[in-house]
Amino acid sequence: MTFFDPASDNPLRDPQDRRLPRIAGPCGMVIFGVTGDLSRKKLMPAVYDLANRGLLPPGFSLVGFARRDWADQDFAQIVHDAIKEYARTEFREEVWKQLSQGFRFVPGDFADDVAFSQLHDTIEELDRERGTAGNHAFYLSIPPKFFPDVIGQLKEHSLAESRAGAWRRVVVEKPFGHDLKSAQQLNATVSEVFPQESVFRIDHYLGKETVQNILALRFANQLFEPIWNANYVDHVQITMAEDIGIGGRAGYYDGIGAARDVIQNHLLQLMALTAMEEPTSFDARSLRAEKKKVLRSVRRPERLDLHTARGRYVSGWAGGEKVKGFLEEDDIPKASTTETFAAIKLEIDTRRWAGVPFYLRHGKRLGRRVTEVAVVFKRAPHLPFSETATEELGQNALVIRVQPDEGITVRFGSKVPGTAMEIRDVNMDFAYGGAFVESSPEAYERLILDVLLGEPPLFPQHEEVELSWRILDPILEYWAELGKPDPYSAGTWGPPIADEMLARDGRVWRRP
């Protein structure tokens, strides 16, 4: 669907003029759950950084909604502190002045009719005083169980209706449900009030530069595409490992677990981007179409007992510190069967990927913090060298490092200097700008800007979400029957059954 685009008639704009940044039209954002960690550490700093880079429209307004007895000034102070502590770019008084006049705070809880009618008035007042022109995004930075309440209130107080020429959008964070059924319910709730194209599901992973670089790497180059298929690829490993435990997120994490928290969204999206065919163009619709095709052709292993693994960390030494086990974390019930490590094997039934397994794993309290996509190639079919010469030669691999050290590693064999012919693996490294990181925008900046511009290429839509649950649901059901997950010592690379799972296929996990 195309929106009315005033830019196309603006004589000052020209497609050739690529210096001019995309500035969102007049608008404001309302954050529900503004006192939360995400809001203070990510959203507020991202708003400031956008303003500092000159990408927010003049008059941009930020409304906070929470159960606190605050006035606008108190709220402004909270934002001020959050920005000073967490913003990526330097604090500048004039940027603060530009922003701070647009801060409003509405106290109340989600069942409070008075608060929502006050919110309604506040938004209208902003339209008059700040020229936000009726364009507002509602950012639901709240636990999903409150979604129906808030969405219902937005509808009841006609906050979701947009006037002609103006827009109302809603932004929701993962998890998008905890299984297929709840995801469908959630979608039904939201789509009853907001049209499909006004719903933005944020997966901050997809805002990362490196993830977008997967597309550049694959489709802008001639070098990789010819070997990006079952003829040359042996298997693919997608890993997201965290060295931290669940910390203070017990309430959220217990009952959710590693697979729902990360595999359902981040890892399946990474897999889709790695495996998809070339989209006809890079607009939202074509990208989504290709991703959906991949998700639709995913095949689960028949024997879930042999090809999936889950685990739970027990106390141990991680990185030189003694850390608690999952069951000893605050507020975790002793009977909890939530997994903190999950590994699954999937296949993609397409000509390109027939017979190539994709191994996805995620865990907390693993060896180190790392996210990567490793494409591991088949061995050369014939080696004209003696066996001793190639004893130490492994499989070639192309590794896309997503975080923390963003870049690409290529692993291949090279001769060891000396008179004997001996071949050993070497790494060739591309650092995605050794220090690009410093100037490259945070994922949330990109995503918030996309919401305000109404450009959703990086946001998964409900079909993708539902397809992902379709893949995961039977595995989760199977695991639920098993009871307690296998233990692994904190600071290691997961439970032994994860290694056995790969050993069955004659493979090993990379140590990332």
Partner 1 sequence: MATELTSTNASKVASALLLARRKAGSPAMGMVMTFVVVTDEGDHYDALRAARAVSREHPSRILGVIRRSARGAANLDAEVRVGDGPSGEQVLLRMSGELTKHPESVVLPLLLPDSPVVIWWPGRAPEEPAKDPLGALAQRRITDMAAVKRGRAKAMLNQAKNYAPGNTDLSWTRLTPWRALLAAALDQFPAKVTCGEVAAERSNPSADLMAAWLTTRLEVPIERVLSKGPGITHVRLSTGGGDVEISRPDGVLAEFTIPNAPNRPVALKRRDTAELLAEELRRLDTDDIYQDTVKQLCLLAGHKPPTTPTSLSEKGEVVEDAAKPKPRKPSTAKKSSKR
My answer on whether omega of the bond before 457 falls inside 30° of 0, hence cis, is no
Closest CB to partner 1 among residues 93, 302: 93
- 12 part of the interface to partner 1, by CB under 8 A: yes
- Least Å distance between CB 131 and partner 1? 4
- 431 part of the interface to partner 1, by CB under 8 A: yes
- Least Å distance between CB 287 and partner 1? 24
- 57 part of the interface to partner 1, by CB under 8 A: yes
What is d(CA 87, CA 54) in angstroms, rounded to the nearest whole number? 15
- Least Å distance between CB 135 and partner 1? 11
- 434 part of the interface to partner 1, by CB under 8 A: yes
- 233 part of the interface to partner 1, by CB under 8 A: no
- Least Å distance between CB 159 and partner 1? 22
- 125 part of the interface to partner 1, by CB under 8 A: no
Please, which of residues 350-409 interact with partner 1 by CB under 8 A? 407
Structure tokens, 425: 């693996």
| E strands in 123-277 | 136-140, 168-173, 199-202, 233-241
Cβ–Cβ under 8 Å, residues 85 and 67? no
- 59 part of the interface to partner 1, by CB under 8 A: yes
- 413 part of the interface to partner 1, by CB under 8 A: no
Structure tokens, 16: 């050739």
- Least Å distance between CB 219 and partner 1? 20
Closest CB to partner 1 among residues 57, 512: 57
DSSP for 342-400 reads EEEEEEE-STTTTT-EEEEEEESS-SS-EEEEEEEEPPPS--SS-TTTTTT----EEEE
What is d(CA 485, CA 478) in angstroms, rounded to the nearest whole number? 12
- 441 part of the interface to partner 1, by CB under 8 A: no
- Least Å distance between CB 15 and partner 1? 8
What is d(CA 447, CA 126) in angstroms, rounded to the nearest whole number? 23
Closest CB to partner 1 among residues 131, 148: 131
H helix runs in 130-237, sequence order: 147-156, 180-193, 209-219
How many CA atoms, within 13 angstroms, populate the side-chain half-sphere of residue 252? 15
- 58 part of the interface to partner 1, by CB under 8 A: yes
Closest CB to partner 1 among residues 6, 195: 6
Task: Enumerate the β-bridge partners of residue 410.
Answer: 398, 428
Return the residue of 414, 433, 482, 500 that touches partner 1, per CB under 8 A.
433
Closest CB to partner 1 among residues 158, 221: 221
SS3 call for 66? strand
Both ends of the chain: CA-CA distance in Å? Answer: 42
CA 467 to chain centre: 17
- 438 part of the interface to partner 1, by CB under 8 A: yes
What is d(CA 500, CA 309) in angstroms, rounded to the nearest whole number? 9
What is d(CA 81, CA 79) in angstroms, rounded to the nearest whole number? 5
Site string for partner 1, 14-33 (x = CB under 8 A): x-xxxxxx-x-xx-------
Cβ–Cβ under 8 Å, residues 242 and 363? yes
- 101 part of the interface to partner 1, by CB under 8 A: yes
User: Which residues are annotated as catalytic?
Assistant: 266
- Least Å distance between CB 130 and partner 1? 6
Return the residue of 2, 158, 221, 439 that touches partner 1, per CB under 8 A.
439
Return the residue of 41, 80, 86, 98 that touches partner 1, per CB under 8 A.
98
Footprint on this chain of partner 1 (rule: CB under 8 A): 6-14, 16-21, 23, 25-26, 51-52, 54, 57-59, 92, 94-95, 97-98, 101, 128-131, 133, 407, 429-436, 438-439
